[in-house]
Structure 1
């Protein structure tokens, strides 16, 4: 019983847990002690305690395993579980280990344990259903849920949350409607699920039907409106709230700033009964994003001490976007702790303003710091590269850092190789990119066209259409440029008589050929989308596909 009381005390005092586990005889994580106790044997001191104590200390044994799980020591907890004395075995011990397996992501281990449990409570069944849902294995969770001999409202809500978490709101609604009883959590899960998916009408229906609401549910609905750009609805609901917390105020201020209502955001900020770091950072970031750099700086200077790093980064970004690199650099030099966003903000600012020397200097400093560059960093450095050697160096760094799987970085490499005159390397990067997007295809088309390979550019365009990608106006410009490089303008004029009457009469036809004739003499203002069949017909008529 003494050990049980000690463990109860430790559960209330988390800071003592690690010290206890480190000094509790054979439970210490010292390498020598671990070596002296194989994983399949219980630590002797612990075993001795339970061999000589009454069976009611089984709760304490389960708590001991739970402490190891809380400290992240799954192997030790598992060893204790498998070697548990008879007096300690039971539903409580099995349930503690179930939780441990699920929290560690060992879903299959948890299932084997559950299948072997002689006694399964409703709580155990619910834990397994919830564990499968957290692992996004909702089909298996549903089979278990349907097999439950008895369910309670927690079981229903666990399955409901599994569907809502991954956006299966039709299934969630069917389950919700079938619930024999609902509690506040069930209603909130449905509301949050609809809100996250942007399904405002359904979310509002649930909100209006809720038998009870609190500040959390009101805030969820306000945020749903604000996130979808329905500023007036969000404001009306906010004003009706019976009570508000800091999060409610911050959400509404953020919504105002995203909607461009700066004055309303300032008024709300001034009305706040209390503010935290998030409130100030929201104002600084929102004002900066709305181009109110001077006002953002006033709020930044008015912040309490120990400013949030996000506020520093917002101001650096604002100055960089405004071209005020001296101010951005001064803030960057003053920031107490630089993170990845800080480095990317200042490097991107210099790259945007074409200060190659500063970009390279800061990049080298970053490589010597504790912060590793990511794809955003490398793209900013790439756009200032002027030679194939420089592009190749960034390419090599991206390879060693394991960043080449990123499509946007691959697109940047492709473009910069082409600009530096290395079409072969650009083609190799194109083939390397696994997840191609319309920008990838367009960049390769432009590379071919700019290097006098118009026929390859048009073949790439045809393949892009065959793969189901929708071309943008930039893609059309690249295709038209390739046609002009291939000398197809005169053939295009002569081919009009051969096109179907429906195409000849169409405005799309006139736009397309008008743009073709003007592509080298005037900027292309706007090109509408064309269907694959139309492009195939027209390009086939003028012979583009045969070149």
Structure 2
């Protein structure tokens, strides 16, 4: 090769490394102008360079104008089309080749493999064998093993293993590593270890492959033993261990490995830092995360978009939103991963409105969302119970085609379930091409939240019949449904099946469901006995659940026990005082009510004020009890007064038992008449068009009298009224509620 050709080849290599397409074209132009007959080797390098830079048209132009293309030239253009997935051009080229060698066949196979076309790749492999086993190379076997592994075709992989032994390739490390990976991915660790042990030489790549397999199967001790006995470890070995430990929930061990790696002086790359930050986020290790951040700054990795995105994610998971925002703002480049990390972080930390704002900023910046972005955004809308915005993003998912991803469809099923449109939730579920465990759990939870106990249980049974494995969230939904329907024995059976059948350890939330199940059924003594046998103490929600049922059943003794227990673990929680006051008030023990009120005042404990809100024309209107701050107050109060007289005519009788004031009944009725949800409902009746449901959200549970009154209002006005309180949805229609008056 001449000196000028060598010079141009080096320049082309630099262009490829820099991704500089324009400069490569200039070099090509200079070659045409200065060299009358460029050497074939130089033209081959031009083909390869254009292929790497993604310009297939120029690569083909160079090839078509070569006076005497060599076999290497044919292989070069074939490789270009193979790597780009252009099958028709690849087959034109392959069929026209005057001769073929192992590289030709391997490129042709790789072209099919790169797009996951296993059956076609196998056909080409068989044709190659007919052409002569001399064409076999270790790269061919490696390519086929990777493809079978990715496709989960272990039986086919075993057949290739047989060919590897038959044709004498079993001692090649380049073949052994993908063999180990294939077996370990399939969970066949004995086969993976056998391949490893039979290799005459084991390099670091093979060790890494087996360690990855062990960690993938959760065998942490075995992986640590193998890692500890490695003579030489590269940065990939360390990163493999850190990543694997993190994925197995051993975040603390992963961080210890990071410290060891640093003390060994091993250079860290973006993947090491990414895994370390994931470990910090997983165990909420904010201080360690800050230390990793400081080390990243010292090693000049802050400009790496992968590392910066991982930092944003770590700070969000640790609840340090301000730090996440600071890292995000300083990023010189932002891609869909970094935007999504911040958006998800806002949603996870309860800042759902900010998550929607970030999405709008992302779109303005020109970055297109992917399925994870849109799924997370829709989840934020679900948390806000914002059906209007969620429906808009539903439309966007249809236009973009992202609705075909299960992540997005699951988020939409959850959205409509949380926003009270259970029919839309079910319709989306039925239209999904693939329904996974998350899909079923989302729908089960939606039905449970809506009070449709029988439908929830039937759906759960169908899920089990389909062979899908429920998780803890699914069981919370089905146990809640049993509680709403008073199915005590069935609820107990499901609770027992969690550990005995499904291998799920019940959490405190599941125990709270059983407390609710027994309490709602009036079996308060059984609930007390169950609590005393629990492996952990109930939290504030558990005690409040029992206390609420004691108020309904007017059981003072167990109520006092529950209230005292709640005060011990959460002294500032007003529920213990308010619910116990309700029990005393129902019994006419006004001295005890006064004593509890004095105690609350002395301790500075205040009841959370009840408020309700309704959305109209993109604006949220918020109401509190006896609220007259709205510019529409006169219309609202006039509407309520008109409704009150019509309700009385229909048979409505105010339930004053929930009023904790020692005043006469007329004053109690007046107090009830202007609760926040009634003001919001009246606003909806005035302004929401008659064909649309009225949707109200309340921060506390709906009181018994407001629940009864809303049933009458729905009957009188012939309107659907959907109220989402702190516990569940209530759909009022034609004088009935979806909860069956059991909430």
Q: Separation in 2 of the partners of 1:332 and 1:76? A: 39
Shift of 1:206: 2.1
Q: Greater shift after overlay, 317-326 or 209-218?
A: 317-326
Shift of 1:162: 0.6
Shift of 1:357: 4.0
**What residue is the counterpart of 1:538 in the other structure?**
none
Shift of 1:140: 1.1
1:481-519 per-residue CA deviation (whole Å, 9 max, x = no partner) reads: 66776x7959999xxxxxxxxxxxxx99xxxxx989749
1:149 aligns with 2:149: no
**What residue is the counterpart of 1:220 in the other structure?**
209
Q: Greater shift after overlay, 384-393 or 261-270?
A: 261-270
Please point out which of 127, 130, 140 is paired with 1:158. 140
Q: Separation in 2 of the partners of 1:324 and 1:66? A: 47
User: Does the CA-based 8 Å contact 2:382-2:418 persist in structure 1?
Assistant: no
Q: Separation in 2 of the partners of 1:322 and 1:90? A: 59
Q: Separation in 1 of the partners of 2:93 and 2:241? A: 47
Number of aligned residue pairs: 480
User: Does the CA-based 8 Å contact 2:281-2:317 persist in structure 1?
Assistant: no
Distance 1:395 1:80, change over 3 A: same
**What residue is the counterpart of 2:260 in the other structure?**
268
Distance 1:184 1:115, change over 3 A: same
Q: Separation in 2 of the partners of 1:313 and 1:419? A: 30
Distance 1:178 1:520, change over 3 A: farther
User: Does the CA-based 8 Å contact 2:445-2:477 persist in structure 1?
Assistant: yes
Q: Separation in 1 of the partners of 2:482 and 2:184? A: 48
Per the normalisation by structure 1, the TM-score is 0.72
Distance 1:387 1:214, change over 3 A: closer
Larger radius of gyration: 2
User: Does the CA-based 8 Å contact 1:351-1:383 persist in structure 2?
Assistant: no
User: Does the CA-based 8 Å contact 1:284-1:297 persist in structure 2?
Assistant: no
1:270-321 per-residue CA deviation (whole Å, 9 max, x = no partner) reads: 4222433445554444233223221221332243144244554444444433
Distance 1:218 1:517, change over 3 A: closer
Please point out which of 86, 95, 113 is paired with 1:106. 86
Shift of 1:210: 1.8
Distance 1:247 1:467, change over 3 A: closer
Gaps of 5+ in 2: 492-499, 502-512, 522-526, 536-743
Shift of 1:158: 0.6
Matches within 5 A, 1:182-331: 182-255=171-244, 259=250, 260-261=252-253, 264-265=256-257, 267-278=259-270, 279-303=272-296, 304=298, 305-307=300-302, 308-331=304-327
1:174 aligns with 2:154: no
Matches within 5 A, 1:335-350: 335-350=331-346
Shift of 1:179: 1.9
User: Does the CA-based 8 Å contact 1:134-1:162 persist in structure 2?
Assistant: no
Q: Separation in 2 of the partners of 1:143 and 1:78? A: 28
**What residue is the counterpart of 1:511 in the other structure?**
none
Distance 1:217 1:350, change over 3 A: same
**What residue is the counterpart of 2:662 in the other structure?**
none
Please point out which of 95, 100, 117 is paired with 1:120. 100
Per the normalisation by structure 2, the TM-score is 0.55
Q: Separation in 2 of the partners of 1:25 and 1:346? A: 46
